[in-house]
Amino acid sequence: MGNEFDQLKKYIYSNTEMVVELEKLLCAIPALAPENKGDGEWEKCEALEKFLISKGIKNIQHYDAPDSRVSRGSRPNVVATIPGNKDDYAIWVMAHLDIVPAGELSLWNSNPFEAIVKEGKIFGRGVEDNQQGLCSGVLAAMSFAGQHILPEHTIKLLFMADEEVGSKYGMGYLVENHLDIFGKNDLILIPDGGDPLGQTIEVAEKNIMWLKFHTEGKQTHGSRPDEGINAHLASCELSLMIHNLGKKFNRKDKLFEPPVSTFEPTMKLTNVEGVNIIPGDDVIYFDCRILPCYKIDQVMVEVKKCMEKIQKKYGVKISVEFVQREESPATPVNAPVVLKLKEAIKNVHGIEGKTIGIGGGTVAAALRNKGINAAVWSTMDETAHQPNEYCIIENILKDASTIAYMCCDGK
């Protein structure tokens, strides 16, 4: 394996300029979801396809999700395949095409949609999230295809839509409509989260429960609370009760940071437009991150008990709805993809990989819910969604080498 991997790694490090070229190409095409006032990912996807074909990666299939909100009527999900010596399982590298908006432009030191290189870093919206992982996967695949080296196992690159606003037209669509493209023994790597050392391997996520509470009372003048029912007051007490559910669901799991379930009130909608008006209507939101040892249905039993107490105490009517609900099993720490990745990290990065859980959500959850193990890993400073987002060029090269190592036969 040594000579082959050295050849692959040499190819990767000799193509730094090509990586910069690809980052600049993709950064210049904002792929925004309709929710973010964009027209989807098609223009970016077509530019990427043209790039891949020019570099000899021509086996490309589409699994596009219908979406009447965008001009093309669908959202692109693309699989590029580099056939291997064995097809008993494939090694997948999955990245998303969409980005988030640039945000406040005055906070940027440069045009967010014109990637610039400075001191070994590439700056621009999307260059890290998720173009760094995309470029690492592409470069690893090209180290085989570009040198006509047959990988031991088939390599598949998935470029998906819609990750930033829920994955309904991306991974969610694929697992519900094209689950057969994934083999039960496939090794799936998602380079969309990590740490500056490239040490942590995400194998578990907290259950995500976003809730919207609508409290209805009776509006009245601020000087006559006795004639109304203060929906805001009831909503405030409900908020404290839901927040305190952390004391009931109090188990700890050191895999996660923080190691506990969290129940946080977040967004609140405007209720009245005057200080002297007692609101008869109030809407609040909660972002709850629940340890996998608890089921969301189990938590909701207690949530509804809180609602009933507040309704009885204040005479209000409270309704609740899910804004987002996601729960999934963990990838076992001894799953083949984790063990293979740990071996690669040790050989390329010179460190021991460490399995962790996170409070955030990734597309890995959708796969795990279908019984498909996946690992989330990358070497990054995690500047996603921030002004002056950047990626480190060396990280792209090192991660591409790690992926190439995984695609070699380690026996």
Check: CB of residue 40 under 8 Å from CB of residue 67. Answer: yes
Tokens of 217: 């009372």
Of 320, 312, 304, 314, residue with least CA distance to 217: 314
To the query of whether residue 98 is one of the catalytic residues in this protein, the response is: yes
β-pairing, 86-96 vs 153-160, is parallel
Check: CB of residue 294 under 8 Å from CB of residue 288. Answer: no
- With a CB cutoff of 8 Å and minimum separation 6, the contacts of 339 are none
- Classify residue 160 as exposed, middle or buried by CB count within 10 Å of its CB (0-12, 13-18, 19+): buried
Quote the CA–CA distance of 386 and 390 in Å, as a whole number.
Answer: 9
What SS3 string covers 30-85?
CCCCHHHCCCCCHHHHHHHHHHHHHCCCCCEEECCEECCCCCCCEECCEEEEECCC
Quote the CA–CA distance of 383 and 309 in Å, as a whole number.
Answer: 43
Candidate list 41, 129, 152, 163, residue with the active-site label: 163
Candidate list 41, 49, 98, 128, residue with the active-site label: 98
Quote the CA–CA distance of 72 and 67 in Å, as a whole number.
Answer: 8
Quote the CA–CA distance of 239 and 233 in Å, as a whole number.
Answer: 10
Q: Known catalytic residues?
A: 98, 163
